[in-house]
Structure 1
Amino acid sequence: MNDCVRVVVIDDHTLVRYGLAGLVDQEPDLEIVGDTGQRTEAVGIVLSTRANVVVLDVTPPDHDGLRIARELRNRYAELGIVLLAPEGEDSVLFEALESGVSAFVARTAPTGEILAAIRHAAVAPTSFTATGLGPAMARRDHSPVQALLSPREAQVLELLGQGLSVRAIAVALSVSVSTAKTYVERLYEKLEVSNRAQAIMTALQRGLIEPKS
């Protein structure tokens, strides 16, 4: 077991975490040395277990896992970091690339793809890999909305342009008011604005929305 890749799983979904741990432990070259549902424990558990690879989930709407990934990369240059994220989140994929992680995998990916990402992270922690990176790059080149905003953020922008309040946006998207507020705040942050009027003006200038006739 001494030559096994030491893996830590950090995922706030208990069944997903246990499923990943069970999957990894079946592999002769991989070994689970720790798991937790608390991202705040990430730095400590990596240090205490001397992990080679950490598998970390990125959950909307706050995507706090990206912040943890950046912190881990800053602390542990040789640590393999695999991010699990919802499928179709191109903006998160590009943020993951910029954060210095080793691999980006959709939560719905086949088990073989997840295991391949872990093994890649173990041997090339500073080399980024992601299935679907090519198509995502193509979409970014041809769509200004997807280059900057996630699909949900683009929806929020459209609803803001229609004059909906945060509460009305929450109803339209079937999410809580606090979640809708988080989406709006993230939208403002990406557009580098502080209110609705500035967001609409900036979006028009960047071609993210079409002017109304």
Structure 2
Amino acid sequence: MTIRTAVIESHTLLRYGLAQLIEQQPDMELVGEACSGAEATHLVAAQRPDVVTLAVTLPDVDGIALARQLRDRDPELGIVVLTSRGEDDVLFRAMETGASAFVPKTAPTSEVLGAMRHASVAASSFTASGLADAFARQRGAGTRTGLSPRERETLDLLSHGLSVPAIAGRMYVSQSTAKTYVTRLYEKLGASNRAQALMTAVHQGLIHSMAS
């Protein structure tokens, strides 16, 4: 069965390279390309691909947020997130949104193609080559700080000056859930407000600086 694939990538050369790679595969068919979230939404609705490759960074939308929108609309769509940002938090965000695979843009073509083929037959099963290592780092960090991954993410966003509503938006949770994360974080740091929490976090080495 031919895997009907669409490429969503703002970088022209990367988009062209992916398109060429797909067209060279006997079991794949390129059904379209998009360079923005708006174009991608129309493309997926019109062409109904089996798999999309999706960049994290797009000019008009966060790629992870777009992945969530696409997953909500089509549980069977294979979503391969391609990124030049290899941070663990990006990987875990991709996994939480329902992506099928997470692949660095520096990965060998065989890994990229393998992720596409995986996504075509197991859209709801997440795969990433560095997943085991990321979980190990997550467990180690949790042991050292006593903070959950979500609480550490909340701390990072607080340190960059984000409000609770903005944190909710970045983490794709409700405002009440974001407030819960902030409250638990304050409790664990022995703080009663943002300033105290950030000062304690700096002293404990959990963050390096605070937004001015």
TM-score w.r.t. the length of structure 1 is 0.72
Aligned pair in 2 of structure 1 residues 60, 19: CA closer, same or farther (>3 Å)? closer
Moved more, 105-114 or 196-205: 196-205
Match of 1:143 among 133, 138, 141: 141
CA RMSD between the two structures: 3.5
Match for 1:124: what amino acid?
A
How many Å apart are 1:143 and its aligned residue? 1.7
Match for 2:114: what amino acid?
A
Moved over 3 A (4+): 60-63, 144-149, 183-188, 190-193, 201-207
**2-side partners of 1:186 and 1:42: how far apart?**
30
Moved more, 38-47 or 28-37: 38-47
Segments of structure 2 that go 5 or more residues without pairing to the other structure are 172-180, 184-192
Match of 1:92 among 90, 93, 97: 90
1:15 lines up with 2:29 in the alignment: no
The residue number in structure 2 matching 1:104 is 102
How many Å apart are 1:196 and its aligned residue? 6.2
**1-side partners of 2:74 and 2:110: how far apart?**
26
1:56 lines up with 2:54 in the alignment: yes
Segments of structure 1 that go 5 or more residues without pairing to the other structure are 161-182
The residue number in structure 2 matching 1:185 is 162
Match of 2:72 among 50, 74, 85: 74
Match of 1:37 among 30, 35, 38: 35
Match for 1:185: what amino acid?
L
Match for 1:48: what amino acid?
A
The residue number in structure 2 matching 1:4 is 2
Match of 1:200 among 191, 198, 202: 198
How many Å apart are 1:86 and its aligned residue? 2.2
Q: Does the 8 A contact of 1:24 with 1:30 survive in 2?
A: yes
Match for 2:128: what amino acid?
A
Match for 1:111: what amino acid?
T
Match for 2:34: what amino acid?
T
Match for 1:94: what amino acid?
F
**2-side partners of 1:126 and 1:65: how far apart?**
18
Q: Does the 8 A contact of 1:85 with 1:106 survive in 2?
A: yes
**2-side partners of 1:198 and 1:86: how far apart?**
34
**1-side partners of 2:102 and 2:207: how far apart?**
29
Match for 1:76: what amino acid?
D
**2-side partners of 1:122 and 1:100: how far apart?**
14
Aligned pair in 2 of structure 1 residues 209, 74: CA closer, same or farther (>3 Å)? same
How many Å apart are 1:207 and its aligned residue? 6.7
Aligned pair in 2 of structure 1 residues 66, 4: CA closer, same or farther (>3 Å)? same
The residue number in structure 2 matching 1:128 is 126
Q: Does the 8 A contact of 1:11 with 1:39 survive in 2?
A: no
Q: Does the 8 A contact of 2:52 with 2:80 survive in 1?
A: yes
**1-side partners of 2:45 and 2:58: how far apart?**
27
